[in-house]
Amino acid sequence: SAVISQKPSRDICQRGTSLTIQCQVDSQVTMMFWYRQQPGQSLTLIATANQGSEATYESGFVIDKFPISRPNLTFSTLTVSNMSPEDSSIYLCSVDTGMADTQYFGPGTRLTVL
């Protein structure tokens, strides 16, 4: 398995500002992903964080709104830019360790935008 930490665990932000969420894994992993979980909803994949290249975004998500960095095989950041109340969600990173396709999730970052 993999131990994943996220910072911050929660934050309350003002409309129009940006927040960067960090995801740290205790081992090198090939695949890292970012998900969003809106209140009372299921998880939706935002993008695949690629090491050394631009992230691959899912339909409905764009780089200008959710820029992602992946400087190495253990770390990634997701920025939520120019926030509005609709961005209030839990943001989760996950990793696929390459061991039997199991994905492990971080504890999530609960974001509230006022």
Partner 1 sequence: SQQGEEDPQALSIQEGENATMNCSYKTSINNLQWYRQNSGRGLVHLILIRSNEREKHSGRLRVTLDTSKKSSSLLITASRAADTASYFCATGGSNYKLTFGKGTLLTVNP
Query: Per DSSP, what are the bridge partners of residue 110?
Result: 10, 90
Shortest distance, position 21 Cβ to partner 1, whole Å: 13
Q: Which is nearer to partner 1, 57 or 81 (CB)?
A: 57
Q: Which two tokens stand for residue 48?
A: 């695949």
Residue with tokens 């360790």, as numbered in its chain: 97
Please give the residue ranges that form the binding site for partner 1 (CB under 8 A): 1, 31, 33, 37, 41-45, 48, 90, 92, 94, 96, 100-108, 110
Do 85 and 35 touch, CB atoms closer than 8 A? no
Closest CB to partner 1 among residues 52, 60: 60
Closest distance to partner 1 from the beta carbon of 33 (Å) = 7
Q: Which tokens in the block code for residue 12?
A: 């309350």
| 44 vs 97: CA distance, rounded Å | 20
The minimum distance between CB 55 and partner 1, in angstroms, equals 13
